[in-house]
Amino acid sequence: MSDSTPHGMHEGPAVGQDEWVARHGERSELRKGAFGALERRLRSVPWWAWLVLFLAGFSLLPVVEQGGYVREVAFSTVLYMLLALGLNVVVGWGGLLDLGYVAFYGIGAYAYALLDSPHYGIHLPVFVSVPAIAVIGAIVGLLLGLPSWRLTGDYLAIVTLFFLQLFQTITTNWQNVTGGPFGILNIDPFGAFGVNVQPEHGGVFAVAYLYIALGFFAVVFVALRFLNLSRTGRAWRSLREDPLAAEAMGMPVNRLKLLSFSFGAAVAALTGTLYAALYANVFPLTFYFVLLITVYTMVILGGSGSQAGVVAGAVIISPLLEMLRDASKSRVLFFLTLVVSLAVLSRRSRATAAMALSTLVFGFVVHAVCGGVHSSWIAGEHAGGLGGFVAHWVVVPAHLARWITPVSYIGVIAAALVCTMLRGRARLVALVPTLYLAAFVWENVMLSKPEPARYIVLGVILIGLMILRPNGLLGERRVEII
């Protein structure tokens, strides 16, 4: 962000070429040595090979792990991957902020629920209903996209948000059709030629659905991949980079925007059918703001615009949210993240390593002092994990006074914000108590309330990414000329 004007230029760029752009390739030059060779080798592997590898890896998961829970999480991860791919078309390729995206997911699920359930007694064959629903999704997306003929970014965002609100109002109120808040129950599972694929065996998640979902994913991934390489895909990119220039070049800007809406909506609706067929019930509240933010975080984290990126985003966030539900896993996750990121940063500078070490010492000192003052200060419950390390490092009082929660939580936010304002040595010194305080808050405040804690983590990821790495983990840094 801040290094837009590199110093120490040796030679000027070619005539008509921006300096910064010209040096872009230089900056991203590959490494030399063994790692470089490996990387070049890896880069030459075609995308479809990666895809096959990824699918194969995913397919093995239920073989390794027999529990229904893991399969369920894997299945919902695939659903998120599909949703992220669809949203990527609108946000990443079309460059439009669509806040009504999850409504299409809901439309798909509800449409399947109406076409294949005892609700109306209609049981369309899956081969008919699923493609039909994808088309329905595309059409509704087209209709919602119509405002984008007239509206620019922010207004469009709000119109789509209203659309989500409308979807909620209609599904909750139109009881005769949608079942209202009672939802629609007993939806048919997928099936063909009279054989139904039951979603569970003895209450345990049926593995077949995971493979069906992976099949959907593969088809959607490949189709979108080709779409992106097509004329339309190139047009989208030019549209996103500069809508004005694109229009001046004679591109049908409005039609392109509509198209991206419609493709995104179709993918979401398709995913909705999967959701309905597996969970066998739909309720309005499933398709709401929390889900929207979750999918957005996946797309942004992975790198909007990059298909592999958004899939990676889903693969990271979905299990992450699942693990944060559970106090012991959530604890492990926190300390692992801390240790790994410190270790990675320490490879670069000795000062960071010193900081990490002093944090460790700082913790033991604080713990000893607190234990010395009063034994109840460190007598809180420690639910195992990390070999009792946490028990001797983080202060966990037996009884939290009421003021501690808000003071420590707001304190850690304030400390973190102060750290961002400091530079150099001062920052490293300030980081020591900040990290310890963060561990204290995580152990004492966040772990006891997993639901808000999970979403606080999402919020922080969104804000932090936008500021530090708007291109996400795997997205290409955009080369901009201003």
Least Å from the CB of residue 45 to other proteins? 15
Query: Rounded CA gap, 388 and 404, in Å?
Result: 24
Q: What are phi and psi of 370, to 5 degrees?
A: -60, -45
DSSP readout, 374-427? -GGGG-S-----GGGHHHHHS---SS--TTHHHHHHHHHHHHHHHHHH--HHHH
Q: Which of residues 136-175 bind other proteins (CB under 8 A)?
A: 146-147, 150-155, 157-159, 161-163, 165-166, 169-170, 172-173, 175
Q: Counting beta carbons within 10 angstroms of the beta carbon of residue 75, is it exposed (0 to 12), middle (13 to 18) or buried (19 or more)?
A: buried
Query: Rounded CA gap, 238 and 93, in Å?
Result: 9
Query: Rounded CA gap, 237 and 404, in Å?
Result: 50
> Vertex 219, ends 215 and 221: CA angle to 5°?
115
> Vertex 290, ends 328 and 114: CA angle to 5°?
115
Q: Which of residues 249-278 bind other proteins (CB under 8 A)?
A: none
Give residue for tokens 């980079």.
241
The helix, strand and coil proportions of the chain, stated in percent and rounded to the nearest 5, come to 70, 5, 25
- DSSP 3-state of 448: coil
Least Å from the CB of residue 99 to other proteins? 8
Using the contact rule CB under 8 A, the part of the chain among 120-128, 200-208, 260-268, 362-370 near other proteins is 200-208
Least Å from the CB of residue 368 to other proteins? 28
Is 200 a binding residue for other proteins by CB under 8 A? The answer is yes
Q: Which of residues 77-96 bind other proteins (CB under 8 A)?
A: 91, 95
Q: Which of residues 37-56 bind other proteins (CB under 8 A)?
A: none
> Vertex 44, ends 57 and 54: CA angle to 5°?
10
Q: Which of residues 223-252 bind other proteins (CB under 8 A)?
A: 244
- Counting residues that bind other proteins (by CB under 8 A) gives 105
The residue among 55 and 290 lying less far from other proteins, judged by its C-beta, is 290
Using the contact rule CB under 8 A, the part of the chain among 62-70, 228-236, 373-381, 427-435 near other proteins is 62-70
- For residue 309, give the nearest of 125, 63, 89, 476 by alpha carbon: 476
Bridge partner residues of 192 (DSSP): 195
The residue among 180 and 233 lying less far from other proteins, judged by its C-beta, is 180
Residues 6+ apart with CB under 8 A from 367: 378, 392, 393, 394, 395
Q: Which of residues 434-463 bind other proteins (CB under 8 A)?
A: 445-446, 449-453, 455-456, 458-463
Least Å from the CB of residue 219 to other proteins? 25
Interacting residue with other proteins among 233, 409, 411, 419 (CB under 8 A): 409
Backbone CA torsion sign across 119, 124, 127, 130: negative
Least Å from the CB of residue 209 to other proteins? 12
Interacting residue with other proteins among 328, 349, 375, 376 (CB under 8 A): 328
> Vertex 395, ends 394 and 399: CA angle to 5°?
140
As a residue count, the chain comes to 482
Is 16 a binding residue for other proteins by CB under 8 A? The answer is no
Least Å from the CB of residue 226 to other proteins? 25
Interacting residue with other proteins among 108, 145, 183, 363 (CB under 8 A): 183
Is 319 a binding residue for other proteins by CB under 8 A? The answer is yes
How far apart, in Å, are the Cα atoms of 405 and each of 296, 402, 464?
29, 6, 23
Least Å from the CB of residue 243 to other proteins? 11
The residue among 243 and 371 lying less far from other proteins, judged by its C-beta, is 243
Least Å from the CB of residue 11 to other proteins? 25
The residue among 87 and 395 lying less far from other proteins, judged by its C-beta, is 87
Is 128 a binding residue for other proteins by CB under 8 A? The answer is no
Is 411 a binding residue for other proteins by CB under 8 A? The answer is no
Least Å from the CB of residue 195 to other proteins? 19
Interacting residue with other proteins among 58, 76, 314, 438 (CB under 8 A): 76
Q: Which of residues 338-367 bind other proteins (CB under 8 A)?
A: 340-341, 344, 347
Is 283 a binding residue for other proteins by CB under 8 A? The answer is yes
Using the contact rule CB under 8 A, the part of the chain among 48-56, 282-290, 352-360, 363-371 near other proteins is 282-290
The upper half-sphere exposure of residue 83, i.e. CA atoms within 13 Å in the direction of its Cβ, equals 35
Least Å from the CB of residue 8 to other proteins? 20
Interacting residue with other proteins among 47, 48, 69, 127 (CB under 8 A): 69
Integer Rg of the chain from CA: 25
For the chain, count helices (H), then strands (E).
21, 6
Q: What is the DSSP letter of 29?
A: P
Q: Which of residues 369-408 bind other proteins (CB under 8 A)?
A: 405-406
Query: Rounded CA gap, 254 and 252, in Å?
Result: 6
Least Å from the CB of residue 65 to other proteins? 7
- For residue 85, give the nearest of 64, 105, 69 by alpha carbon: 105
Least Å from the CB of residue 372 to other proteins? 27
Strands 191-192 and 195-196: antiparallel
Query: Rounded CA gap, 18 and 91, in Å?
Result: 27
The residue among 150 and 234 lying less far from other proteins, judged by its C-beta, is 150
Interacting residue with other proteins among 81, 300, 366, 439 (CB under 8 A): 300
